[in-house]
Amino acid sequence: MRQAEEQFGVVFPDDYRQYLLRVSAGGRVRTLRADQRGWRWDGDQPADRANLHVPFPDHDTALAASEDLWLTEPQEGDYASAAAYQADHDAWRETADGAEDARISGAVPLCDDGCGFYTLLVVSGPMRGAMWFDGRATCDRLNPLLNDDGEPASFGEWYLDWLTREEPLTTPELR
């Protein structure tokens, strides 16, 4: 556990640490494992691990910056040649991709919910320990997952909620 935390430059929230130490047999959460390249989660990309040490940004500020960036997207009609447009658009795209990646700095995509949606665990910054839903595939929004008290849910709350709702569906009595 310490090796993984050292590699990523974070200390995992306690409930997630306990899950990794005592449960971590798959299920809804991507498995964290070590291989010849170091620690990684099943199905992740290197970019998913690169900025875990960077604090998770304030959502409204990050969204506003993203929206401002999209307003600067080069338009083909503003260019005399396709080559000039493509060069500027490629440079802009690289900047835009970096800005989108920065919106989830400090968060682990723990669960692939399909169709470009992810459930995130924040591991650094003021929101450390909170679960968020990445809905940028359709609405450009990141939203905190809330517990019954309307507060951001912890990993433990989120996982136990999943077990309560989903796990009974796999018991022999319900098949």
* Domains of the chain by residue range: 2-56+106-174, 60-103
Alpha-helical regions (H) of the chain? 2-8, 14-22, 46-50, 59-70, 82-102, 155-166
0.85 cut: is pTM over it? no
DSSP state of 130: B
* 17-33 pLDDT per residue, tens: 999 988 876 667 889 99
Which one-letter amino acid corresponds to residue 132?
A: W
Cα–Cα dist 101/27, whole Å: 26
* 124-149 pLDDT per residue, tens: 999 999 999 998 888 878 899 999 99
